[in-house]
Amino acid sequence: MRFVSCTHGGSRHAALVDGEDLIPLRGVAELGPATPTSVLADPPLDRSATFPRSAARLRPVVPSPGKIICVGLNYRAHIEETRREDSAYPVLFTKFATSLVGPTDPILVPPESEKVDWEGEIAVVIGTPARRVSEADALDHVLGYTVANDVSMRDFQRRTHQWLPGKTWDSSNPLGPELVTPDEAPDFPDMEMVVRYDDEVVQRTTADLMVFPVPELIATISTFTTLLPGDVILTGTPGGVGDRRDPPLYMTPGHRISVEVSGLGRIDNELVEG
């Protein structure tokens, strides 16, 4: 199944995708903590309130996650282009829900940064509480998958030893378009991600090339914190970021950035002055 968070007729809805229509979930305003796996497995559909997808505005697929945990340096090509060493433990950092925008919303390019970079990523949404889970059981806790762009302000990222200042600017991280449940999502080798800056392909990978695969990420993170329904894990970006090109290429207002993952959908965002 596929679900969205959206607005229609001045109201917010979590909705099931039914072809070109959206069927709202009765009494549920958005995907997240209120929609664990137990709810989406048998969603309370209000079929009488069905409306065309074209009449809705898609919000971030999980607008208000309790946690957004991001993974850095999780593809070999990105490790090599950054000239960093391999690690036996994933690089982890967090960002805030205020950074999220919808799959077609503008990305705000802040006037304070001159080095705004793309990072196409596959995102995992948690569906049941996970604490100290094994890799073998980790995927049982996944609600679904979606697409993200972990837009990074590189000059601010490098101001401290921690990456936070460059990673969580308001209205900079699109997430969507849909939550695709595990039964419908492609296998990891078939999740091909392609990132385009305007019409130029700048990143391409498949999800099976992650250094730390999704089950290991969930097991590792759940060792130190309880993952809860609606929490989001951004699984890392492949090689091809603008910051590591020669010469570097950064995003500026007036251009577009898109991230498409086969079987999960496409986010396509205009860059505007913020």
Kindly report, residue by residue over 162-178, the tens digit of the pLDDT: 999 999 999 999 999 99
Checking if the pLDDT of 143 tops 90, the result is yes
H-helix or E-strand containing 80? helix 76-82
Tell me what the pLDDT averaged over the chain comes to.
97
The domain covering 68-273 belongs, at the CATH homologous superfamily level, to Fumarylacetoacetase-like, C-terminal domain (3.90.850.10)
* Domain ranges (residues) in the chain: 2-58, 68-273
pLDDT band at 129 (very low <50, low <70, confident <90, very high): very high
How high is the pLDDT of residue 81?
82
Rg of the chain, C-alpha, whole Å: 18
Tokens describing residue 156: 């601010």
| β-strands 107-109, 265-273 pairing | parallel
Q: What is the 3-state secondary structure (H, E, C) of 8-48?
A: ECCEEEEEEEECCEEEEECCCCCCCCCCCHHHHCCCCECHH
pTM for the structure as a whole: 0.97
How high is the pLDDT of residue 80?
82
Q: What angle do CA 268, 207, 267 make, to 5 degrees?
A: 10
d(CA 128, CA 267): 26
Mean pLDDT of 242-265: 97
How high is the pLDDT of residue 210?
97
H-helix or E-strand containing 97? none
How high is the pLDDT of residue 83?
76
